[in-house]
Amino acid sequence: MVLRCLPLILIAGSLFVAFGCRSTPARPPAQVEYVPPTRSSEVATIQGSRRRPGFLDEDHVGYVLMVDRKYLANPAKNWNQPVLLAPGLRIITAEYLNPPYNARADLTLDVKPGVSYQLKIVNGTEGADGKRFNDFWIVETAKGTIVTLVHHAEVTGSKGTYNPFSIN
């Protein structure tokens, strides 16, 4: 009896593993989700930036991940959408993404009402081992002036060893 039911048990178990364990990406709990200010006359804005390095390379995107340690909804997807900021000292957590590479940095920004800001990024390699890095800073968009310190962060991630142009 048990041997006759074994294929059914294995199929049911396989289906459970294949479909029963799937879930949608978790949203941050309400206490850690960023709620933008509502008074539009007293707010500032910040948005990310994108660099298109070349034909075969993917875009390099810098975006605001968190404001005052509170997560934004879909920050990578909404990198070019202005984020409302209340005036005062804010901690802007920025993230750099060039799949699968990424880096993060905390930037302290003294937000002035009515000002538009933009997160800037530049990346490269350094040292004999070619370590990847990304620099983050914020500029006041209208003046083009840098309003934060430049934060130098190590990039993590790996594209593996696949090279479509190798002749092995």
**Taking the C-alpha atoms of 47, 53, 57 and 60 in order, what is their torsion angle to the nearest 10 degrees?**
-20
**How many residues make up the chain in this entry?**
168
Contacts of 37 (CB under 8 A, 6+ apart): 43, 84, 85, 86
The pLDDT assigned to 163 comes to 38
The pLDDT assigned to 124 comes to 86
- Any domain includes 109: yes
- Any domain includes 49: yes
- Any domain includes 128: yes
The pLDDT assigned to 127 comes to 83
Give the E-state strand segments of 14-100 in sequence order: 44-47, 49-51, 60-67, 70-71, 83-85, 88-98
Q: Which residues span the domain enclosing 149?
A: 32-154
- Any domain includes 124: yes
Contacts of 49 (CB under 8 A, 6+ apart): 61, 62, 79, 118, 119, 120, 121
- Any domain includes 107: yes
Structural domains of the chain, count: 1
- Any domain includes 8: no
- Any domain includes 21: no
Q: Which residues of the chain, if any, have pLDDT below 50?
A: 19-24, 159-168
- Any domain includes 64: yes
Distance from C-alpha of 127 to C-alpha of 110, rounded to nearest angstrom: 34
The pLDDT assigned to 59 comes to 83
Bridge-based pairing state of the strands 44-47 and 116-126? parallel
The pLDDT assigned to 161 comes to 41
The pLDDT assigned to 22 comes to 45
Strand partners, 164: none
